[in-house]
Each structure stands twice: as C-alpha cells, then as structure tokens.
Amino acid sequence: MMMREREQRTVPHADPPTASRFLEVRDLTEALAEPLSAEDQTVQSMEDASPTKWHRAHTTWFFEEFVLGAHASGYRPYHEQYRYLFNSYYDAVGARHPRPQRGLITRPGTYEIGEYRRHVDSAMVDLLQSGTAPVVAELVELGLHHEQQHDELLLMDIKHVFFCNPLLPGYGRHVVGRTAHAQPLEWISHRGGVIEIGHDGTGFAFDNESPRHPELLRPFALGSRAVTCAEWLAFIADGGYTRPELWMSDGWAMVQQQRWTAPLYWLPEAQGWSVFTLRGLQPLDPAEPVCHVSWYEADAYARWAGVRLPLESEWEAVATDTPISGNFLEPDVLHPQPHSGADADHGLFGDVWEWTASAYSPYPGFRPTAGAVGEYNGKFMVNQFVLRGGSCVTPAGHTRPTYRNFFPPSARWPFTGLRLARDA
C-alpha cells in the first residue's frame, strides 16, 4: 500500500520472475530493516502503522500462504500459528491477530522472523528454479510488488515511531541532498477531449488499474511541479489552518480535533520551522515539495490558491507521455528533494505521492478476482482518495502512469503532497 497492505490481482508480467529477482526484492526489505534494533522493530506507534518485524513476517507469509502452500509439492508451513499472526485482511484465509495489537507480539523476535524468511526464501528459490506455471508466476510477481509496497510502508511506519520518541532519532545519517531554488510555477496545458486511461494489459499492474476505458476531459492545465514548503508557509501565514471557509466540513472538524497548524513532522523553533525526517530533525528547506499533508489539507490549500486538485484522469493524461524518472527510494536520501526545473518529467514521479480530487472507486467494468487474493482491493473502494506518482520511499520501478495509490482523506503519515490544476 498504500492503500494499507494492498494485496491485489494482477495482469500477467511480460517475463516470469526469476530466483535472482525474487532474492533482490527480498534482500531490499532486509537491508531496510538492518539499521533497526530489535526494540525498534517491535514498536507499533499507532493503529494505522505496523511494526517493522510484522512487515518482514507478513510479506513472507504471503509467499507461504499463496504460493508455497498451494503450489509447492510437499511444503510444510514453517509455524502453524504464523498463519494467524501475520495474516492482514484476508477473511477467506481465516482468523487473524487484531491489527491494533501487532506491537504486543514480542515473540517471535527479530531473529526468529529472519529464520522464517530464510526458510521461505529457500523453498521459493527451489520452486522458481524448477520452473513455474503461469498462474504461479503471476502470484510470485504479485508477491514481489506487494513486498515493495511494504518496503515503503516499513519506512513510513518507522518514521512515525521515531517521531514519537522525545529524542527524535534518525533512521539514517549520511544524506545526499539536492541544492536548488524553488522553480517558478508554470502550467502544462492539455486540450482535453476523449482519452483512454487505465492499464493496457502489457506487463504488470494491479487490478484496480483496469480495465482501460475512455474518459472525457475538459481543457485543463496541470502545475509544472509539486507545491513547495515555501508556498505552504504562505498558506500558514495567511491563516490557512484557521479559516473554516477553506475546508471541507470533515476536514475542519479534523483540524480542530487534532489541532493541526502545519504538516505532520513540522516543528516550530525560535529560528524558524524544522522538519523531522528519516535522518532526524533538519531545517525546513523552502524549495522542497511539501510532504505529509492530508487530502483535507491539500484540498484546502488548492481552494486558498484559487485553483483545485487534479482529477486522476487529468494527471494520467499528462503522465502518459512523461518519462518515469525521479527521486525514488535511495537509502542515502529518503526525503523529498527540490525539483530542478530542468527535468522533462516535471517531477511527476517520485518525491511525494500527489493527492487527486478523485475518490478511489472502481473503473467501469471492474470485477474483483474470486478467492482470497482478490479480496482486499474491491471491498476498500470507498472513503478513500487516489494519489499518483510515487514518493522518495517508493522502490524504483514500482510505479507507472496508471498506478493508483489510495489513502483515507485524513492520512498524513504517508509521503503525500500535492500538485495543482486549473480549468483552461
């Protein structure tokens, strides 16, 4: 997810997954967990987040439950109770441990989870090296993209854990940043008309990206970059968090209830704002994209700016002809970077997921897959909004122009920002 723990049906990948690619994805998860102590990996800071240890185990459970258990002759589960402990939302699989209590699972410990991963990895490599049927290859491909989603969730969740610590510790210390000034906001015009959106069936995609279908767009323009921290500071200075006329009713209630006065992780100090990052507390860079804002905040900002958020179809119409490049998951960055203004991608991909004005709902003709693997996606197509583009903690190669991320409108702990749109 993302979107929390989204396990969804896919269309077939062009090339069957290999053992080496399987291990590459699995090794990344372990590399992301490696800087964390056993204590770090066990904490659950809120109901929406999960412990690092749980992410490591759940992604392993996926391969054991849906691939090995069903398609590897003679495979025996590593531990029968893990089926209960590490199930996420699959009612068809059976009972599961309550989500708010994942942080109470002190045993198995981090070492035991590592042993579980090694056991399943060995069996999966044997299966992949022996050759796989198309249905198995599709499940493995789904499992790999599912694990990449959890790599992002792992970093989102541990950032929230560290923010709850009065010491404000950093996940990493050595960072390569980009020095840049905020580029002037320009507008990318689109003439509108009937366009096709959705995945075309070539390569991998989640089922919520299909079926491909026509949509009618009015002429519009999309901002040439994401909204920056400098621009958000102007919104704050103009009373953005104190003016009810800018907010949806539910959003205004959330502002009052949660006492929002700035994006999550922003901290006021005598010399100005600081922002908590995965490398610890840092001075706020006005040129970088604003991050960790809810849909409610993004919508209020757009209204304050006299424009609006883009429809997801508008975003995709521009992104379809845009190179997929940007600031994705790099262990020495892990933070949004200022957009140089020289890139042909307009910063559409990477840095921050961009809220859209589109509710997360099924495309015309969408049908969820029968069985447990298809259970999660369709039943959550309500009370959420679509985000596009990927973030600085999204694994490279994981996103595409048709990718539909989604979160409830109050979510702030994902790496979420916004881009503006306006009618032509």
pLDDT in tens, 97-126: 999 999 999 999 999 999 999 999 999 999
Q: What is the CATH number of the domain that holds 358?
A: 3.90.1580.10
Q: Same domain, yes or no, for 406 and 317?
A: yes
Segment 133-158 shows an average pLDDT of 96
Separation of alpha carbons 392 and 339, rounded Å: 12
> Would 174 be classed as within a structural domain?
no
Residues 368 and 233 in one domain: yes
Tell me if 360 is assigned to some domain. yes
Q: Is 278 or 93 the better-scoring residue by pLDDT?
A: 278
Tell whether 97 is covered by a domain.
yes
Tell me how far apart the alpha carbons of residues 60 and 219 are, in angstroms, rounded to a whole number: 46
Count structural domains, the chain.
2
Residue where a domain terminates, one of 147, 163, 179? 163
In this prediction, residues 13-32 reach a mean pLDDT of 90
The distance from CA 167 to its chain's CA centroid, rounded to whole angstroms, is 26
173, part of any domain:
no
Whether 86 shows a pLDDT value over 70: the answer reads yes
Confidence (pLDDT) at 182: 74
| Whether residue 247 sits in one domain with residue 139 | no
Mean pLDDT of 120-149: 95
Mean pLDDT on 379-387: 93
Residue 210 banded pLDDT, cuts 50, 70, 90: very high
Give the number of residues written for the chain: 424
Same domain, 128 and 229: no
Distance CA 348, CA 419 (A): 9
pLDDT, average across residues 378-401: 94
Q: How is residue 97 written in tokens?
A: 């441990």
| Alpha-helix residue ranges (DSSP H) falling in 211-248 | 229-237
Residue type, 54: W
Confidence (pTM): 0.94
Same domain, 59 and 153: yes
CB 90 within 8 A of CB 375: yes
DSSP category for residue 308: B
Asked if residue 393 lies in contact with residue 55, where contact means CB atoms within 8 angstroms, the answer is no
Evaluate whether residue 176 is within a structural domain. no
Distance CA 202, CA 207 (A): 13
Q: State whether 341 and 376 are in the same domain.
A: yes
User: 180 lies in a domain?
Assistant: no
Q: Collapsing DSSP states into helix, strand and coil, what is residue 42?
A: helix
**Top-confidence residue, 184 or 182:** 184
pLDDT of residue 269: 92
The band of 341, judged by pLDDT with boundaries at 50, 70 and 90, is low
Chain centre to alpha carbon of residue 68: 27
Give mean pLDDT, residues 5-22: 63
Is residue 404 domain-resident? yes
Range in 49-58, 89-98, 317-326, 342-351 the model is least confident about? 342-351
Identify whether residues 397 and 256 lie together within a single domain. yes
pLDDT value at residue 183: 84
Q: Is the pLDDT of residue 81 over 60?
A: yes
Number of Cβ within 10 Å of residue 18's Cβ equals 13
Task: pLDDT band for 321, please (50, 70, 90 cuts).
Answer: confident
| pLDDT value of residue 173 | 64
Question: Are 117 and 210 part of one and the same domain?
Answer: no
Residues 197 and 148 in one domain: no
Q: Is the distance from CB of 406 to CB of 388 less than 8 angstroms?
A: no
* Residue 201 is assigned to a structural domain of this protein: yes
3 state DSSP class of 74: coil
- Taking 70 as the threshold, does the pLDDT of residue 9 lie above it? no
Q: Enter the tokens of residue 361.
A: 């709902």
Q: Which residue, 173, 97, 169, 135, is CA-closest to 9?
A: 135
Query: Are residue 147 and residue 194 in the same domain, yes or no?
Result: no
Which structural domain, as residue segments, surrounds residue 148? 10-163
- The stretches of 80-225 forming alpha helices (DSSP H) are 82-85, 110-129, 134-163
Average pLDDT over residues 291-310: 98
Between 118 and 2, the higher pLDDT residue? 118
Q: What is the pLDDT of residues 414-424, one digit of tens each?
A: 999 999 999 99
Answer yes or no: do 414 and 338 share one domain: yes
Residue 152 and residue 218 in one domain: no
